[in-house]
Structure formats: structure tokens, C-alpha cells
Amino acid sequence: MQGPVYFDIAHMLAGGLVLVSMMMLYQDRLYALLNVFALHSLLLTLSVAWQAFIQGAPHLYVTAAIALVFKVVVIPVALHHMIRKLGIHREIETVVGIGLTMLAGIGLVALSIVVMLRVTPEADPLTREDLAFALSVLLLGLLIMVTRRNAVSQVVGFMSLENGLVLAATGAKGMPLVVEISVAFSILIAFIVIGVFLFRIRERFDTVDVGALDDVRGRRRK
Amino acid sequence: MNASSLFTFDAVAAILAIPVVAATLLALMPGYKVTARVNVAASLLTLVAALCLFVTERPEPGRYLLVDDLNIVFIVLNTFVGFTTSLFSASYIAHELETGRLTPANLRFYHAMYQIMMFGMNLAFVSNNIGLMWVAVELATLTTVLMVGIYRTHEALEAAWKYFILGSVGIAFALFGTILVYLAAQPVVGEGYDAMVWTLLVERVADFDPALLNVAFIFLLLGYGTKVGLAPLHAWLPDAHAEGPTPISAVLSGLLLNVALYAVLRFKILLAASPEAISPGPLMMTMGLASLIFAAFMLYRRRDIKRMFAYSSIEHMGIIVFAFGLGGPLANFAGLLHMVMHSLTKSAIFFAVGHISQIKGTQRLSAIRGLTETHPVLGWGLVIGVAAIAGLPPMGVFMSEFLLVSSTFARQPLLAVPLVFGLLVAFGALLLRLTGVAFGQPRGSRKPADASYLPMYSHLVLVLIAGIYLPPPLVAWFQHIANLLR
């Protein structure tokens, strides 16, 4: 199925994902960040489901369902809970100012569009645009991770980065199921790992600020 | 290939199944003495199964699994060092339990993770599917993250967190690169599983879109290169080595870096087979040289003995990546030999360092002095190991470095200058530190070592033999692989 409407809807959803990634850049409260992340994952779910529909690939619905259950519901709820338990709903410190971060974000989106559109002139237009957007989401996720010091928001950045990967994997037509399941699995594993870490970090220091961890180096002088 | 042919061949199935079964057993069994033995036994069985690969008939490359000349070397090296490390780990762990740094519950977890890590690494080596390979590398990484953080100290958590974050970014890049390779392959090979099967990709790569392959390789090199510990992306490596248990430092340096390197090599072969794609050589040479020189200078300012040898690992991975980047039969041969020698020597050094830091109760270099006087067996083992890693003859590392330098002079004389410079700088740093640690005025505890010397000396003897005499079948074997690598 390859009508202009199908294309437009896929385009809109993937573009929406980039937009929401940009929104995540300037959230300075943890709860708000989590809500925007849930929205991000919801858009991803829709986008994946739409790809499943236009590619006639039923296994992609599974990926969409996994994204819906884990990333829209379970993880944000769990992190909400964790934040409340840790008592860290205060402001996020951003390392770089919001204006500069946004500019960097715009630059990254431009970069990924230039790179991906140039190297895929012969690919199907839907795949091309999907890939360009996916790379933007990936790089924006990286930017979120770099500009935050708080462990929870780094985790959220990482998960939005993974959302970009799922978008890329579903955009590639006929990509085997193995990979999709592995993506979902890796997120799950990553979450468990992170959960363990957060638990331990809190257990030790009552703070989830990675910056506090960095201070160790000053004392110890490696 | 169908599912049944996966099971008719036992050696491949065995090197995958034994660690999984062992991990399950170890997770359930109480008592550290028994579990440590089970760990050793399982590692030995895996090694035997790996050696069987030499004699049994190789299976046809399947959709998921592949055994060829290249990966047998990696598998045998992996299972061998995995076995000796499990021996070392048994005596190391007993001491950690005595001093209360680890609890029996920690140990159960530790042993199960050790076997899962072995499974992940073996799977990465035998996988013929680039998606499966990615999953396996990721699995091996995640288990090591958990083990690095096992002491739960401030520093260990920092190290594990840093490793996890940087590792995840690397993983993400590698997956994106894998997806791009699939996209390049899909119009030629067809949709579905076939477009991820490495052997099929290599056959058809000439028809792939070169621009897409180029971008894919850059992502793959950055992604897996993070795991190799190449220069701008190495930040996790020293912390992870210094703060985790020493057996894990030994397998990180000796094995996990090789796994990532293996992934890079597979894609390098793929790109080299495509006439129009960029040649991966210059990129790899640049990153290799940068790692070498950067790490060589960093060696001078280290105060922590494990951290110092971690930087030395970055240096050597730089050399190896440079060698494979230079390419050609001689440089590839040198790179392969250097990789084997580095794995053996570096894990032997970490075996020595593990016991030393347990005796002295610290990893600070300034607190470790005069080892040859107080603990002659350990001290001289360390001296031999460091001399080997610094590249002194007659050890095997000297041989591979010599081959590499002469090959560089012959082909890219200008590049030989920074290469030799980096080697000399690192050499100086290592010898400078070694004199104090081994021959200075003895300092700190003098209590006798309760150590197992067998793993350390077996590695060192192998390295020495390789430096003096390489058996012709081995040389022929390595030359064959070197040609395969282009």
C-alpha cells in the first residue's frame, strides 16, 4: 500500500516524534519530562502500528504493543513512583542553557536529515524520511543524556534514544523479527539494569545525581 | 539451514549450551567452594568443546551460526582465557569472602553472571547474523556492567554507571549501523533474514549502495569502537577495570575488547569486499594511532595499578586496530598475533595484580614496592608480564610489534613515526613504574601470598614460546586468516 495519504500519516507521526524529542530538551522538571517521554512513546507506538498496517507486516503490531505497554505505561509509572520515593521532584539542573541546547538540537536534526537523505537516494521515500527522523531522534536522545546530570533524566534520554532505534528498525522494510524483539528485550534488560543501579545508588547516597558521583574523582585523584 | 542441523553439530552447540546450563546451576547452588569448582569445570568443558572445533567437521554456514577460520581463533582464545581466569577467580574470590568485601549471595550472582558473559561472548563469535551478533555483544556487556558494580562502593557504582551509559550509547550506534547495513543489503539480497546473514552479505556486497555502507560503517566503528576502548570513546574503560573485581578486569581486557574488535573486523571484511565503498583502513588507523599515543602518555600519570594496566589495554587495542587498518597479509598477521599475545599477557598481569592488591590491601602504586623481595614468585611473574607487554624480546609481543613496525615502514613510512613514538613512550612509562613496584624498598604487608600461580605462568610460558618459536601450522593458519582479512 503506497498512497500519498499513507505516506503523509507515516511522515507526520515520525516528524511528531522529532518534535516531541525537541520538547524533551527543555523540560526542567522530572515529572514533566516523564510525561513528555510517555507522549514520545505513544507517538512511537502509533508510528510502528501505522508501519505495520502499510507494510502489511503483522509482527510489527507486537512491537507496537510492547512499546505501548512498557514505554507508555509501565516505565513512566514506575519512574514516577521512584521519583516520589526518592523525594527528588525538584528542578533538573541542566548543564548547558536551554537556548543553546535547542540550537544544538536544531543543528543535529539538520545534520541527520542532510546525511541520511544524501546517502539513500534510491531507497523508498518512506524509508528515507523515516531513517532521517530516526537518526534525529537518536541524536536528540544523546543530547538529552549529555545535558543532564540527574540519573533519572539520563535514563529517560537513553530510552528516547532507543525509541529512535525502534523507529529506524520498523522503517526498514522486512527487517526480521529477531531484531525487533531484541530491541524490546534490550530496553527491558536496560530498564532492569537501571532499576538495580538506581536502587543501589539511592541505597548508598540518597541521591541520584550522577554529578555527585563525579565528585569522587576530585577526592581520589585517580 | 533448519533448526535440526543446529543440533546435529555438537561442538558449536556445546560451547553455547554449557555456559547456559552452568549459569542456571550456579544461580541455584549455595556454597562458594562448590560453585567456584563448578565454574572452573564448566569453563574447562567449554574449552574442550572449543578445541573440538579443530577436529570435527565444520557445519555449513547457517542463518544464525557460522564457524570459519577467523572465529575459531577467537573462540579458542576466549574459552582458554575464560578457563584460566575461572581458576584465578576461585582463589581470588576465597580471599574476598574472608575479608568480607563480597557476601555468599554476591558470589552466587557473580558466578552465574560469569557464565552468562561467556555465553554472550561465544555467541557473538559464532553468530553469522549481524543482528544476533549485536544482541550477543550487548548481553556480554550488560553482564560485565553488573559485575563491575558488584562491590557497591562509591567508586564501583560510578564506574559501572559510566560504563553503562557509554556502553549504551555505543550499543545504540552499533544497532543503527546494523540497520543501515540491512537497508543496503535489502534491495540486493531480498527482504527478511537473508539480508542479515553475514556470509550472504559478503558474497553480494559489490552490488550494495556504497554511500549507505559508508555511513553504516562509521556508525558501526563508533559503536563497537566504544567497546574496543578506542581513544575518544574510551572513558569507561579505566574506571571499569579499576573498580571491579580483578578477574573481571582480566576478562574485560583479555576478552571483551576482543569481542568488539571481532565485530569491527567482520564489518571491515564486508566493506573491503565492496569496490566502491570507502576503504575502512584510514579510519581505523587514525583511531588506532590516537588511542596508542593518548594512552601512552596517560600511562605516566597513573597512581592506581589496575588503572595503569587499563590504559595499557587501550594502548594495545590501538596498536591492534592500527594493524588491521593498515591491512595486507603481514600487518593483519601482526595484528592477529598481537591480539592473542595481548590477551594472554594482560590477563596474566591482572592475575598477578589481583593477588598483589589483595596482599597489600590497596591498589595505589606508591604503596606497592619491592615485590621481588617480599613475594618473589608473584613479583617476578609481574616483571615478566610487564616486560612482555612493554614489548621486550624474546616475548611474543615483541615479535608482533616488530612485524607491525617493519610492515608499516615498508608501506607507510610516515605513519611508522607516530607508531614507534607511541610504543617507546608507553615502554618508558611501564618500565619506570615497574622498577619501583618490583625492585624498590619493600613497603606494606609482607604476609605470604595465598595465590594460584598456575594461570599466570601458563599464560606467560605460552607468550614466551610464541616469541621464540611459532609452530609452522600455526603460522600457516594465521597467514590464511590474514589473507581472509584483506
Residue A131 to residue B135, Cβ atoms within 8 A: no
ipTM given for this complex: 0.86
B134–A182 CB contact, under 8 Å: yes
Q: What angle do CA B5, B11, B15 make, to 5 degrees?
A: 110
Look up residue A11 and give its amino acid: H
| d(C-alpha A46, C-alpha B224), whole Å | 31
Q: What residue of A is the nearest CA neighbor of B155? A: A216
Q: Do B164 and A193 touch (CB under 8 A)?
A: yes
Taking only residues 194 to 223 of chain B, the set having a beta carbon closer than 8 angstroms to any beta carbon of chain A reads: 195-196, 209, 211-212, 214-215
SS3 B209: coil
pLDDT for residue A193 is more than 80: no
Q: Cβ of B154 and A145 within 8 Å?
A: no
The answer to whether the Cβ–Cβ distance between A115 and B164 falls below 8 Å is no
Distance of CA B288 to the CA centre of its chain: 15
The span from the CA of B130 to the CA of B193, in Å, is: 10
Give whole-number Cα distances, A176 to B142, B195, B312, B456, in Å: 23, 9, 40, 44
The chain-wide mean pLDDT, for chain A, equals 78
Q: Phi/psi of residue B82, each to 5°?
A: -60, -40
- How many CB atoms within 10 Å of residue A215? 12
Please give the residue of chain A at the shortest CA–CA distance from B178.
Answer: A169
Q: Are B16 and B61 a contacting pair, CB within 8 Å?
A: no
Name chain B contacts of A113, Cβ cutoff 8 Å: none
Give the model's pLDDT for residue B7: 45
Chain A residue numbers touching B146 (CB-CB < 8 A) = 193, 196
Residues from chain B that touch A57, judged by Cβ atoms under 8 A, are none
Q: How many CB atoms lie within 10 A of CB A19?
A: 14
Nearest to residue B76, comparing CAs of B137, B126, B120, B128? B126
Cα distance between residue B138 and residue A119, in whole Å: 28
End-to-end CA, chain B: 28
Confidence of residue A219 (pLDDT cuts 50, 70, 90): very low
Question: How far is Cα B264 from Cα B137, in angstroms, rounded to an integer?
Answer: 12
Say how far apart CA B3 and CA B35 lie, in whole Å. 33
Determine contact: A143 vs chain B, CB below 8 A.
Answer: no
Asked if B193 and A183 come within 8 Å (Cβ–Cβ), the reply is no
**Residue of higher predicted confidence among A55 and A209:** A55
Could you tell me the end-to-end alpha-carbon distance of chain A, in angstroms, rounded to an integer? 59
- Give residues 56 to 85 of A whose Cβ lies within 8 Å of B: none
What is the band of A185 on the pLDDT scale with cuts at 50, 70, 90? Answer: low
Give the count of beta carbons closer than 10 Å to the beta carbon of residue B380.
16
Helix (H) or strand (E) holding B418: helix B413-434
List the one residue out of B242, B204, B228 whose CA is nearest residue B315. B228
Residue found by looking up cell 527491558 in the block: A188
- Phi, psi of A91, rounded to the nearest 5 degrees: -65, 150
pLDDT in the model for residue A41: 92
Interfacial B residues in 78-97 facing A (CB < 8 Å): none
Nearest CB neighbour to B179, from listed A162, A168, A204 = A168
And the C-alpha cell for A126? 518512506
Q: Which residue has the cell 607491525?
A: B404
Give contacts of A172 with chain B, Cβ < 8 Å.
179, 182-183, 186
Query: Nearest 10 degrees: CA dihedral of B11, B347, B166, B429?
Result: -150
For B70-96, write each residue's pLDDT tens digit. 889 999 999 999 999 999 998 898 888
* CB-CB under 8 Å, A172 with B186: yes
Which amino acid is residue A70, in one-letter code?
A: F
Residue-averaged pLDDT of chain B: 88
> Which parts of chain B register pLDDT below 50?
1-7
The confidence score (pLDDT) of residue B439 equals 86
Q: Which residue of B has its CA nearest to A196?
A: B146
Angstrom distance (rounded) from CA A65 to CA B342: 46
| Residue B301 identity (one-letter amino acid) | R
Among B378, B317, B392, CA closest to B350: B378
The CA-CA-CA angle for residues B84, B258, B292, to 5°, reads 115
pLDDT of residue B485: 83
Return d(Cα A131, Cα B170) in angstroms, integer.
19
- Going from the C-alpha of A140 to that of each of A153, B14, B176, B417, the distances in angstroms are 13, 43, 14, 40
Q: Tell me: pLDDT of A202 over 50.
A: no
Query: Smallest CA–CA separation between A189 and chain B, in Å?
Result: 8
Band of residue A204 on the pLDDT scale cut at 50, 70, 90: very low
Contact B344, B337 (CB under 8 A): no
Whether the pLDDT of residue A89 is over 50: the answer is yes
Instruction: Determine the Cα–Cα distance for residues B439 and B437; give it in Å rounded to an integer.
Output: 6
Whole-number pLDDT of residue A66? 80
Residues in chain A within 8 Å Cβ distance of B151:
none
Burial string for B330-345 (b: 16+ CB within 10 Å, else e) reads bbbbbbbbbbbbbbbb
- Cα distances (Å, whole numbers) of residue B350 to B228, B248, B343, B353, B382: 18, 9, 11, 5, 9
pLDDT-based confidence at residue A220 (cuts at 50, 70, 90): very low
Which candidate from A135, A158, A175 shows the least CB-CB separation from B182? A175
Residue B3: per-residue pLDDT: 45
Measure in Å the smallest separation between the Cα of A161 and chain B Cα atoms: 8
Which value, in Å, is the radius of gyration of the alpha carbons in chain A? 18
User: pLDDT digits over B119-165, tens only?
Assistant: 999 999 999 989 889 889 988 988 898 888 888 777 887 788 888 88
The position carrying cell 556486497 is B205
Alpha-carbon gap: B446 to the closest alpha carbon of chain A (Å): 25
Q: What is the pTM of this model?
A: 0.90
**Backbone torsions φ then ψ of B364, nearest 5 degrees:** -70, 130
Report the C-alpha gap between A126 and B47 in whole angstroms.
Answer: 48
Whether the pLDDT of residue A190 is over 80: the answer is: no
What A49-58 contacts at long range (C-beta under 8 Å, 24+ apart), as own/partner pairs, is: A50/A9, A50/A10, A50/A13, A51/A10, A51/A130, A51/A170, A51/A171, A52/A170, A53/A1, A54/A1, A54/A2, A54/A6, A54/A10, A54/A126, A55/A173, A55/A174, A56/A1, A57/A174
pLDDT digits (tens, 9 = 90+) for B447-475: 777 778 899 999 999 999 999 988 898 89
* Per-position DSSP letters for A112-129, written without gaps between them: HHHHHHHH-TTS-HHHHH
pLDDT over threshold 60, residue A188: no
Q: Residue range A25-53: average pLDDT?
A: 90
State how far the Cα of B485 lies from the Cα of B272, in Å rounded to an integer. 9
Domain ranges of chain B: 279-486
* Chain B closest-CA separation from residue A185 CA (Å): 10
Length of chain B: 486
Interchain CB distance below 8 Å, A196 and B146: yes
Q: Are B277 and B214 in contact (CB under 8 A)?
A: yes
Residues B396 and B460: their CA atoms lie apart, in Å, by 9
Sign of torsion over alpha carbons A85, A87, A91, A95: negative
The percent of residues above 90 in pLDDT, for chain A, comes to: 23
Chain B window 301-330: which residues touch A at a Cβ cutoff of 8 Å? 302-304, 307
Q: ∠ CA A56-A57-A59 to the nearest 5 degrees?
A: 150
B13 CB within 8 Å of a chain A CB:
no
For residue A132, give how far its alpha carbon lies from the nearest alpha carbon of chain B (Å).
12
